[in-house]
Amino acid sequence: MNARWPEALVANPLDAWISARLGGVALIDHQIAMLVETVAWAKQRSPFYRRLLADVDERTLTAPGALHRLPFTTADDLRRSDPPLLCVSQSDISHVVTLETSGTSGPPKRLFFTPEDQETTIDFFRHGMSVLTRPGDRVAILFPGERPGSVGDLLATGLQLMGATPILAGWPHDPAATAALLQRERPDVVAGAPVAVLAVARNSPSLRVRSVLLSSDHVAASLRTSLADLWGCEVFEHYGMTEMGLGGGVDCDAHAGYHMREHELLVEVVAPDSGVPMAPGEFGEVVFTTLTRRGLPLIRYRTGDISRVLPGTCPCGSPLLRLDRIAGRIGGGNGGRTMAALDEALFSRPEVVDFSASYRPGMTPTLHVDITTLPGSGDPEALRTTLTAIPVLAQGVNLSVDVVADGRLLTRVGKRRITVDNTA
Ligand SMILES: [Zn+2]
């Protein structure tokens, strides 16, 4: 937490927005007041929090370090929802998101939002996007947006409020068709998931785009570079998740970490095993507390993401907390690292549109990689050579590669990962 918000310092549009929202109150004082309010609200309204926080007197939360004595909440608490975390009646809820847990058969996580909770997200999208968008810009949205309250829908509303024109293209199931749409619409800015945006860019290399916002998944350096080369654009990244209310933080044009919306999210990094707070610069698990959420507030929610608070001040001068890129997942083992290595290697090849990977354990474990390339390209042997050059695949893994030159997007909405095939 920053001690004081420097009176005159509005280094980027996020600063200007947050400074205005604080209305002269120091950020830390605002955060503590909102934390006290959130804990009191949760205890009063939710059976889950009444039990979890039974021993917590919210009036003592103003003491230094008191936050760190609050218990954590986890994804399992959300999945069980017994007793429920929800703090309002169902009739006060305007949007529900169900998140299936990939790789397990457990119950899904369900997140509930009131209209006010969604207004907060729109407000963040409006001001977060203004880091890379100007009033009058045309902005293509490649996130799903058909459903009211979906990420594409809220982003479109936020953009309209800032005076930009949203073009809701939706998820690019057919990248060539989305590329043709973008050629007609000539957007200044494109927002979407990393692989989805790259797939469209591979299909429209003559398009010129000023800025791109990538969100919802790991961004390989090779993907970022390819995108910047194809469209001549500046690439910005956003970090957030449904549990955060979609929005979290965005990097500025210094590209030196995500500036978090700290007046609405209290962000910590803790040691995964002991839960002890980590010093800036040290890697640990990202934990956050929602400070304004009414439907389903999350208190010290463990994200499972590994990152660190970047020490020092951003070159842009903003006093906001900066989170580094996500370095992996707690308990992710080698899966995350291998996926990142595959991303890095495959997206450096100009013909690769997308890929998916599955791992079959056994005496000789096999990694099967399906690759789609632009029509008329994709030499399987060359791609296999690219893969065998990856150190993590060099030994003990049988590699099987399928290449289809149909330019299709294999990736679906959400985080990409290596699936594990236990059949056989
Ligand atoms: Zn900055």
pLDDT tens digits, one per residue of 167-218: 999 999 999 999 999 999 999 999 999 999 999 999 999 999 999 999 989 9
Q: How confident is the model at residue 309 (pLDDT cuts 50, 70, 90)?
A: very high
How far, in Å, is the centroid of ligand 1 from the Cα of 311?
12
Omega before 107 within 30 of 0, i.e. cis: no
| 131 vs 14: CA distance, rounded Å | 7
- The conformational region for residue 306 under phi > 0 = left, psi -120 to 50 = alpha, else beta, is beta
Strand partners, 189: 139, 211
- For the chain, give every domain's residue range: 9-328, 335-420
Q: Are 223 and 198 in contact (CB under 8 A)?
A: yes
pLDDT value at position 105?
Answer: 65
C-alpha 145 to ligand 1 mean position (Å): 29
> What confidence tier does 1 reach under pLDDT thresholds 50, 70, 90?
very low
- Beta strand extents in 91-163 (DSSP E only): 95-99, 109-113, 138-141
Determine the Cα–Cα distance for residues 66 and 405; give it in Å rounded to an integer. Answer: 57
Kindly give the distance from the C-alpha atom of residue 393 to the centroid of ligand 1, in angstroms, as a whole number: 37
Look-up of token digits 């785009």:
209
Which residues partner with 258 through β-bridges?
A: 251, 323
In this chain, the answer to whether the domains covering 9-328 and 335-420 adopt an identical fold is no
Output the CA 314–ligand 1 centroid distance in Å.
Answer: 5
Q: Which of 3-12, 324-333, 355-364, 371-380 is the least confident region?
A: 3-12
* Mean pLDDT, residues 322-348 taken together: 90
pLDDT of residue 194: 97
pLDDT, averaged across the chain: 93
- What CATH class does 335-420 carry? alpha beta
Annotate 175-238 with DSSP letters as a single string: HHHHHHHHHHH--SEEEE-HHHHHHHHHT-TT---SEEEE-SS---HHHHHHHHHHH--EEEEE
Distance CA 82, CA 100 (A): 18
Beta strands across the sheet bearing 366-373 = 398-404, 366-373, 352-360, 419-420
Distance 220 CA to ligand 1 centre (A): 21
d(CA 131, CA 352): 30
pLDDT at 414: 81
3-state helix, strand, coil in the chain (%, to 5): 30, 20, 45
| Contact (CB, 8 A) for 257 and 310 | yes
3-class DSSP state for residue 362? coil
**Look-up of token digits 């006010």:** 116
**Ligand 1 center–CA 383 separation, angstroms:** 38
pLDDT value of residue 196: 97
Residue 325 C-alpha to ligand 1 middle, in angstroms? 14
pLDDT of res. 396: 78
Predicted local distance difference test score (pLDDT) of residue 64: 83
Residue-level pLDDT at 379:
93
Average pLDDT of the residues in 156-162 = 98
Among 175-179, 249-253, 397-401, the minimum mean pLDDT is found in 397-401
Query: Mean pLDDT, to the nearest integer, of 90-115?
Result: 87
Measured in angstroms, how far is the CA atom of residue 227 from the centroid of ligand 1?
A: 22
Residue 356: pLDDT band (50, 70, 90) is very high
Distance CA 116, CA 293 (A): 8
pLDDT(141) > 60: yes
Task: Determine the topology of domain 9-328 in CATH.
Answer: Rossmann fold (3.40.50)
Spacing, Cα 259 to ligand 1 middle (Å): 7
